[in-house]
């Protein structure tokens, strides 16, 4: 059978379009050339990612949206002839997000840029509620805070630091740079000119204000996680928050810490507006509505697709990307792009390499955002996959081209990674760094769930594209931020690496590096320990 497949692939390579055949492949391997042709001439990346992000949307753990998206992934795989299933590993508190809206109605009218946080309660019956806004007081100790606390009854409480400016630091540095004399003096001395005086003043003022705000929370006797519940118990109508990552129009949107009243995230600009009005006793009043429903415990699932191996079916190549997301945006670059990379790679492999030597699995993990729960549970529940793992390729940091690959501390695996990358066409390997031997850093994404056991897991790290400033867990993580050419590029790399790992006649070794000294303790570092994923939550 295998000799027939190889002969078929050789014939297919001869029929490739001239453009594909002319690519600078370092090897005449016909399957690599067929992968290139399939992924460039018949790519489905654009249709897949538009459906996932626009039609299905974000995929918060425990929501109907995640379940619907999983059903779509399974149906799509099955349409390609690839068996796929949803595999339950636990339960999670189910939650449905409805419409939320916040308006400033006093001292002037403005519709605010606001949405409720994940797993937030709604307003009673989804109706409108109205109340004054107050901010945390600057009090000396917890006794003074306890004396103030009854004042929140029937009011909204703003509990986040109000930024003194919502212009990014980069803009302050650019437009308030040193004067011409300082520039010339720096150039004469062979130095880069430092930041301008206005920038320095802004940073100093912000740092002083942040220190004051942290002391307000500390003096309350609570911390940012426990404070919302205390305010809720004192009769607050709702909680107002913001978390600004230093970019225009962007904020991070995580989860609520209340159980009875809604928690809203406001934009940096609008949060600052209501906080300033409250701080200056100018009587801000907001009207808010939040439609949300808790659904009880619902199944938490991983979505898994499998192309079974023909010669070594009990050995595995795993394509790994987390499927869940926060729901401030569409979960586009975290991790819709990684999800589609793995789906498109599997589609390509099924089209040109349907009978691999080793079994190829695509793992679309749930609840990564709450602590790698889905992938950790899968590794616990499938010790045979961990034991038989030839290679796992994980991608989870945005829409940029894959720029580096690391074997994460497996010394002997470095040779294999280097050899596989060396067989990629120049268009894919150019600028692609192989970090040797790397280090099994303690978490971060789903490769950790396997590398902790010493199994060959490799991190496919992408160029950042302002990932942490603008799309990581934010309201701006939406379809328009995706660079489709990069997703196609990454799917080609992943498909080729999966093929090369599946076909390699040798087994990837698992010898571990000597860990470097811990700089804090001066003691030798240790290999990270595996942990089971949380089976219930949040």
Tally the domains of the chain: 2
**Could you tell me whether strands 114-116 and 263-266 are parallel, antiparallel, or unpaired per DSSP bridges?**
antiparallel
Tens-place pLDDT, residues 372-381: 999 999 999 9
| Over residues 279-307, mean pLDDT | 98
Residue 507 DSSP class: P
Task: Examine the domain organization and report whether 263 and 320 are in the same domain.
Answer: no
CA–CA gap between residue 397 and residue 446 (Å, rounded): 12
Using DSSP, state whether 445 is helix, strand or coil.
Answer: coil
CA–CA gap between residue 242 and residue 160 (Å, rounded): 6
Task: Examine the domain organization and report whether 424 and 493 are in the same domain.
Answer: yes
The answer to whether residue 318 sits within a structural domain is yes
The answer to whether residue 168 sits within a structural domain is yes
Task: Examine the domain organization and report whether 185 and 37 are in the same domain.
Answer: no
Tens-place pLDDT, residues 140-196: 999 999 999 999 999 999 999 999 999 999 999 888 877 666 666 666 667 766 778
Task: Examine the domain organization and report whether 207 and 332 are in the same domain.
Answer: no
Do residues 272 and 279 touch, judged by C-beta distance below 8 A? Answer: no
CA–CA gap between residue 450 and residue 433 (Å, rounded): 22
- pLDDT bucket at 208, cuts 50 / 70 / 90: very high
* Cβ-based neighbours of 382, under 8 Å, separated by 6 or more: none
Task: Examine the domain organization and report whether 236 and 385 are in the same domain.
Answer: no
The answer to whether residue 538 sits within a structural domain is no
pLDDT at 174: 86
Write out the two tokens for 287. Answer: 């009207």
| pLDDT at 15 exceeding the cut of 50 | no
Task: Examine the domain organization and report whether 338 and 421 are in the same domain.
Answer: yes
- pLDDT bucket at 458, cuts 50 / 70 / 90: very high
The answer to whether residue 299 sits within a structural domain is no
Q: Indicate if the alpha-carbon torsion angle 469, 471, 472, 474 is positive or negative.
A: positive
Write out the two tokens for 98. Answer: 């409805």
What are the DSSP calls for 325-373, one per residue? --SSS--IIIIIHHHHHHHHHHHHHHHH-SS-SEEEEEEEES--TTTSH
472 is in which domain, residue-wise?
A: 2-11+30-83+308-503
The count of residues in the chain is 538
Q: Hey, what's the torsion of the CAs at 181, 182, 186, 187, to 10 degrees?
A: -30
Task: Examine the domain organization and report whether 238 and 278 are in the same domain.
Answer: yes
CA–CA gap between residue 111 and residue 506 (Å, rounded): 63
Task: Examine the domain organization and report whether 146 and 244 are in the same domain.
Answer: yes
Task: Examine the domain organization and report whether 275 and 187 are in the same domain.
Answer: yes
Task: Examine the domain organization and report whether 221 and 275 are in the same domain.
Answer: yes
| Over residues 112-119, mean pLDDT | 98
Select from 302, 371, 284 the least CA-distant residue to 342. Answer: 302
pLDDT at 195: 77
Domain of residue 378, CATH code: 3.40.630.10
What share of the chain in percent tops pLDDT 90? 85
CA–CA gap between residue 29 and residue 481 (Å, rounded): 35
pLDDT at 20: 43
The answer to whether residue 393 sits within a structural domain is yes
What distances in angstroms separate CA 456 from CA 125, 477, 512, one per listed residue?
A: 51, 31, 10
If you search the block for the tokens 């309201």, which residue do you land on? 475
If you search the block for the tokens 């449905």, which residue do you land on? 96
- pLDDT bucket at 16, cuts 50 / 70 / 90: very low
Task: Examine the domain organization and report whether 330 and 257 are in the same domain.
Answer: no
pLDDT at 360: 99
Select from 460, 442, 446 the least CA-distant residue to 527. Answer: 442
Give the mean pLDDT of the chain. Answer: 93
| Over residues 315-334, mean pLDDT | 98
| Over residues 296-320, mean pLDDT | 98
The answer to whether residue 91 sits within a structural domain is no
| pLDDT at 130 exceeding the cut of 90 | yes
User: Can you name the residues that pair with 395 across neighbouring β-strands?
Assistant: 460
Task: Examine the domain organization and report whether 172 and 67 are in the same domain.
Answer: no
User: Considering 265, 293, 321, which residue would you say is the last residue of a domain?
Assistant: 293
Residue 435 DSSP class: -
pLDDT at 487: 98
CA–CA gap between residue 11 and residue 15 (Å, rounded): 7
Q: How far is CA 235 from the centre of its chain?
A: 35
| Over residues 203-221, mean pLDDT | 96
What distances in angstroms separate CA 174 from CA 170, 195, 419, one per listed residue?
A: 6, 8, 44
- As to burial, measured by CB atoms within 10 angstroms (0-12 exposed, 13-18 middle, 19+ buried), residue 244 is buried
pLDDT top residue among 459 and 435:
459
Q: Which of 333-342, 436-445, 469-478 has the lowest mean pLDDT?
A: 436-445
User: Considering 293, 317, 340, which residue would you say is the last residue of a domain?
Assistant: 293
Domain of residue 221, CATH code: 3.50.30.30
The answer to whether residue 530 sits within a structural domain is no
User: Can you name the residues that pair with 158 across neighbouring β-strands?
Assistant: 135, 240
The answer to whether residue 302 sits within a structural domain is no
Select from 460, 453, 472 the least CA-distant residue to 368. Answer: 472
Write out the two tokens for 114. Answer: 């606001």
pLDDT at 442: 67
pLDDT at 188: 63
List strand residue ranges (DSSP E) for 407-513, in order: 433-434, 457-462
Select from 90, 85, 120, 83 the least CA-distant residue to 102. Answer: 120
């Amino acid at each position: 059978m295998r000799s027939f497949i190889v002969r078929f692939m050789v014939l297919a390579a001869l029929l490739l379009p001239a453009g594909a055949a002319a690519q600078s492949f370092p090897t005449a391997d016909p399957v690599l050339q067929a992968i290139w042709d399939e992924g460039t001439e018949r790519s489905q990346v654009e249709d897949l990612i538009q459906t996932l992000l626009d039609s299905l949307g974000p995929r918060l753990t425990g929501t109907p949206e995640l379940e619907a998206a999983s059903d779509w992934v399974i149906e799509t795989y099955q349409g390609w002839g690839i068996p796929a299933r949803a595999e339950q590993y636990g339960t999670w508190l189910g939650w449905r997000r409805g419409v939320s809206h916040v308006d400033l109605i006093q001292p002037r009218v403005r519709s605010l840029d606001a949405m409720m946080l994940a797993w937030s309660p709604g307003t009673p019956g989804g109706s409108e509620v109205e109340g004054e806004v107050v901010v945390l007081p600057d009090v000396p100790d917890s006794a003074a805070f306890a004396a103030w606390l009854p004042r929140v009854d029937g009011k909204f409480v703003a509990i986040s630091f109000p930024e003194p400016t919502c212009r990014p630091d980069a803009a302050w540095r650019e437009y308030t740079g040193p004067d011409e004399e300082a520039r010339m003096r720096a150039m004469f001395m062979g130095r880069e000119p430092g930041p301008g005086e206005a920038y320095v003043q802004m940073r100093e003022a912000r740092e002083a204000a942040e220190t004051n705000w942290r002391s307000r929370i500390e003096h309350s006797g609570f911390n940012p996680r426990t404070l919302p519940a205390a305010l809720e118990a004192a009769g607050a109508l709702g909680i107002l928050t913001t978390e600004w990552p230093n970019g225009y129009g962007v904020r991070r949107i995580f989860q609520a810490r209340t159980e009875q009243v809604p928690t809203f995230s406001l934009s940096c600009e609008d949060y600052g507006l209501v906080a300033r009005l409250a701080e200056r006793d100018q009587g801000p009043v907001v009207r808010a509505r939040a439609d949300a429903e808790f659904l009880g415990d619902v199944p938490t699932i991983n979505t898994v697709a499998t192309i079974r191996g023909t010669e070594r079916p009990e050995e595995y190549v795993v394509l790994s990307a987390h499927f869940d997301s926060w729901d401030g945006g569409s979960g586009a670059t975290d991790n819709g792009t990684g999800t589609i990379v793995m789906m498109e790679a599997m589609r390509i492999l099924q089209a040109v390499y349907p009978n691999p030597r080793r079994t190829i699995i695509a793992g679309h993990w749930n609840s990564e955002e709450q602590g790698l729960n889905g992938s950790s549970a899968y590794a616990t529940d499938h010790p045979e996959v961990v034991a038989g793992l030839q290679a796992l390729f994980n991608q989870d940091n945005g829409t940029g081209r894959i720029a580096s690959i690391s074997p994460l501390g497996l010394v002997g695996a470095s040779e294999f990674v280097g050899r596989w990358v060396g067989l990629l066409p120049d268009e894919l390997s150019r600028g692609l760094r192989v970090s040797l031997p790397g280090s099994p850093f303690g978490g971060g994404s789903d490769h950790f769930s396997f590398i902790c056991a010493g199994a060959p897991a490799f991190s496919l790290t992408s160029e950042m594209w302002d990932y942490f400033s603008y799309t990581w867990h934010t309201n701006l993580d939406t379809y328009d931020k995706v660079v489709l050419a990069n997703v196609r590029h990454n799917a080609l790399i992943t498909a080729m690496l999966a093929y090369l790992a599946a076909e390699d006649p040798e087994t990837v070794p698992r010898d571990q590096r000597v860990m470097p000294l811990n700089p804090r303790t001066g003691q030798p570092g240790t290999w990270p320990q595996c942990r089971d994923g949380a089976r219930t939550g949040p």
